A = this chain, B = another copy of it.
Amino acid sequence: MTSLLNRFMEGTSRRVDAVLNRLLKSKPEEPAEIRKAMRYSLFAGGKRLRPSLVAAAAECCGGKAGRVLKTGAALEMIHTYSLIHDDLPAMDDDDLRRGKPTSHKVFGEALAILAGDGLLTLAFETAAANARDCGLDGRASAELVKVIAVGAGTSGMVGGQAADLGAEKWRGRLPRARAGRLLEYIHLHKTASLIIASLEAGAILAGGTAAHRRALRAYGRAIGLSFQIADDILDVVGDKKKLGKKGSDAANQKLTYVSLYGLSRASAEAAALTRKAHRALAPFGRRAAVLHELADYIVTRDR
């Protein structure tokens, strides 16, 4: 990671963690276990990519990173809830995440489900409060909530998860072209949708134009896909200790870019998407320095 990007992500991470800490402070009148479970997964070592995207997008549109931290926190809560539910026995059945026991392993399935529900709910409250703090009117405020809900819901992340479940039954039985389209659908929705929502949320809070938002969507689509391809590649070649899980895609014989196209074509595809991401940022000129570096980082990260 370059020092500019490192500084930006570390700074955002520190400030977003302070916001999350405040929002998740224990309340004596609430059952202690539920907040404990929410905090456990929120503070399990995430890199705060989505908050950094919110902040960097806001800056691209002339806004201040410091004003959009709550929405960054909201997107991180949504990301975290999706990991908790995704790890459940009924879903991916993962015991470890980033080398630590998953939520249901520590707190039991029931509380893990509720911790996810609680995070998703708090996320919307937090984003709406940020819209108010930034002085957004009723229309822009509804737009912010909508962009996040579309990215997180059935048109986005939840839809991607559902397609992923459905894909199981096709395993190995689809012609390659159709398998490729299905895989792209899954990745676009499971991963890229929330990345796009983070970028657009930053733009809305900073008063970005329609052209700004279009550019950020194109950028988000490209890095969202390249992120996921890099993940598929890491699952095969990555240092398994660093990854904190045991090449579980291969063990599950999952449909991935690598299983479908092989390692070298998957790498070439990730590189092409990275070039696309850079091109999409043209309208922002120098203000997009962080996002340019992020596009490169996302395909070279170790996790």
Contacts and interface: CB of A to CB of B under 8 A. Distances in A.
Interface in A91-135: 91, 108-111, 113-114, 116-118, 120-122, 124-125, 128-129, 131-132, 135
Given A85-B113, A131-B141, A135-B138, A121 B152 contact: yes
Q: List the 6 closest A-B pairs by CB distance, nearest first.
A: A125-B149, A90-B109, A128-B145, A121-B153, A132-B142, A34-B162
Contact of A154 (B35, B138, B162): B35
A131 B117 CA distance: 23
Interface in A164-221: 165-166
B111 A128 contact: no
Contacts of A29: 155
A154 B26 CA distance: 11
Given A162-B33, A166-B33, A129 B110 contact: no
Contact of A114 (B108, B140, B142, B162): B162
A170 B158 CA distance: 36
A142 B140 CA distance: 11
Contact of A128 (B85, B88, B128, B159): B128
A155 B159 CA distance: 28
Chain A binding surface SS class: helix
Interface of A: 27, 29-31, 33-35, 38, 81, 85, 88, 90-91, 108-111, 113-114, 116-118, 120-122, 124-125, 128-129, 131-132, 135-142, 145-146, 149-150, 152-155, 158-159, 161-163, 165-166
Contacts of A33: 162, 165-166
Contacts of A165: 33, 108, 110-111, 114
Contacts of A27: 154-155
A166 B161 CA distance: 30
Nearest to A130: B142
Contact of A118 (B111, B139, B158, B163): B158
Nearest to A24: B154
Contact of A145 (B38, B124, B154, B158): B124
A249 to B, nearest CB: 17
A27 B135 CA distance: 34
A118 B158 CA distance: 6
A161 B114 contact: yes
B117 A85 contact: yes
A109 B91 CA distance: 8
Contacts of A141: 128, 131-132, 138, 141-142
A176 to B, nearest CB: 21
Contacts of A155: 27, 29-30
A149 B121 contact: yes
